Amino acid sequence: MGINTQTSQSIVYFEREGRENLTQVLRVVKRAFRKRVELRSLKIVVFTAIGEGPALSYNLLQEYTPQIIAVTFPSDFYIVREGKKICPNIPDKIQALFDGLGIKVIRSRLPFEEIDGVPGYNEQMKLIKDSLSVFGGGFVPCIQAVLQACDHDAIRVGEKVISITGDSAAIITASTTKTFLSKESGLVVNEILCKARNLTIARGSQPKTPEPAASLFDLKAEVKATKRKELSQPGPKILEAKE
């Protein structure tokens, strides 16, 4: 029989989803680099809309000289908010900065996005995204970014990378979109470094303030009071059978 070795690593949880956690995400990655030498050689895949994530990754992690890969939306992508089309894109100045720093930018259709006129395919992609979102809305682009980077030969199939979004970070074994569910060369989430505890965006749930736990002394006092009450009450009457 083989020896079952195990290791223990901590996971950082954020109370809410969203980009406001990005700096904390990168600090979690930096702490992992500081404690675990084997992680420092891993490429960092950052999903980004406007270039903020890769830029902050370079600033906070540059002492470890990581190779950073940025994955973003295609140029024709847009979202509708309050009846207006919003097209997230990386500004030219930031793109020029990335070019100078050697940060590769992959800009194309994401693996799980819909295709017009193919409802059956779109339903399957929605099922995949909905399934992944049980880990948080930020986990879906975390997976898609790795697939996209592998599809564009920025990383190899089977290569471990650190994938980062605004509220999630994970160590992932890469795969292409075509094979990511296969047993032989499929994608693997090896470790979750951090994620949102409450799905405030994906599910719209609000974090609840936990009720304060009773102190051990309060519990002992409650037990003693209960015993005193039981002793003070008359016991059950015993009825004798009459002949």
Full set of structural domains in the chain with CATH: 12-196 (3.40.50)
pLDDT in tens, 128-170: 999 999 999 999 999 999 999 999 999 999 999 999 999 999 9
Q: What is the DSSP letter of 70?
A: E
**Which residues does the chain have with pLDDT short of 50?**
211-227, 229-231, 235-243
Backbone angles phi, psi at 42, to 5 degrees: -75, 140
Supply the pLDDT for residue 207. 74
Report yes or no on whether pTM surpasses 0.75: yes
Q: How many CA atoms lie within 13 A of 45 on its CB side?
A: 30
Task: Show contacts of 185-189: CB within 8 Å, 24+ apart.
Answer: 185/157, 185/158, 187/143, 187/146, 187/147, 189/143
Could you read off the pLDDT of 212-239 as tens digits, one per residue?
Answer: 444 434 444 444 444 454 445 554 443 3
CA distances from 194 to 132, 232, 243 (A): 15, 54, 77
Torsion angle (degrees, nearest 10) of CA 70, 186, 42, 201: 50
Residue of 205, 208, 204, 198 lying closest to 16 (CA atoms): 198
Quick one: pLDDT at residue 224? 47
Nearest 10 degrees: Cα torsion 79, 81, 84, 85: -10
Bridge partners, residue 12, by sequence: 194
Based on its alpha-carbon atoms, the radius of gyration of the chain, rounded to whole angstroms, reads 26
Nearest to 148 by CA among 130, 133, 161, 136: 161
